[in-house]
């Protein structure tokens, strides 16, 4: 699994030009699910996201997690994070999990994040064309790959 985690002051996701969900202070997480990802990947990545210390403390130092601050998470599925651009100019998405497998893992990630954060997770719509609007706070953007454990 690959995740692009952005610290945001607000984020919104639209489906069919209609507001689907939104958050204030927290994290907007773009999630790419790779063939062969497992429940272990879900658990590891969820724990990392929820406890990642990229939120400011009272002195303005990134020393708190989204869980510490009571912030929200907006989770968006995004298979294009698994793009390979090694050959030519058209990205290959061969590493992305097939839709049925990816949707199952996406639902598992929602459930695990809710368990780890101890509150509901905000989401887009799986396999839908979405428009994501956000204000990246900092800007702070972190990329994590569960297979590399970094």
**With bands split at pLDDT 50, 70 and 90, how would you rate the model's confidence at 150?**
confident
In a domain, 9, yes or no: yes
* Known catalytic membership, residue 79: yes
**With bands split at pLDDT 50, 70 and 90, how would you rate the model's confidence at 140?**
very high
Annotated catalytic residue within 78, 108, 112, 123: 78
In a domain, 150, yes or no: no
Annotated catalytic residue within 38, 69, 80, 141: 80
Which of these, 89, 75, 88, lies nearest to 32 by C-alpha position? Answer: 75
* Known catalytic membership, residue 78: yes
Please count the structural domains in the chain. Answer: 1
Q: For residue 115, what are the domain limits?
A: 2-145
What is the maximal distance between C-alpha atoms in the chain? 48
Annotated catalytic residue within 6, 79, 108, 123: 79
Residue 38: CB atoms within 10 Å: 12
Question: Could you report the per-residue pLDDT of 95-121, keeping only the tens digit for each?
Answer: 999 999 999 999 999 999 999 999 999
In a domain, 19, yes or no: yes
In a domain, 97, yes or no: yes
CATH of the domain at 60: 3.50.80.10
- Please tell me whether residue 38 adopts helix, strand or coil conformation: coil
């Amino acid at each position: 699994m690959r995740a692009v985690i952005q610290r945001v002051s607000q984020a919104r996701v639209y489906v069919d030009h209609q507001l689907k969900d939104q958050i204030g202070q927290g994290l907007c997480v773009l999630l790419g699910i790779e063939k062969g990802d497992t429940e272990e990947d879900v658990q590891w990545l969820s724990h990392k996201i929820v406890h990642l210390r990229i939120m400011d403390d009272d002195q303005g130092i990134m020393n708190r997690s989204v869980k510490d601050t009571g912030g929200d998470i907006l989770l968006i599925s995004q298979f294009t994070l698994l793009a390979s651009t090694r050959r030519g100019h058209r990205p290959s998405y061969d590493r992305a999990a097939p839709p049925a497998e990816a949707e199952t893992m996406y639902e598992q990630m929602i459930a695990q994040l809710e368990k780890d954060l101890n509150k509901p997770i905000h989401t887009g719509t799986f396999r839908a064309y979405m428009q994501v609007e956000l204000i990246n706070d900092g800007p702070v953007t972190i990329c994590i790959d569960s297979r590399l454990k970094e």
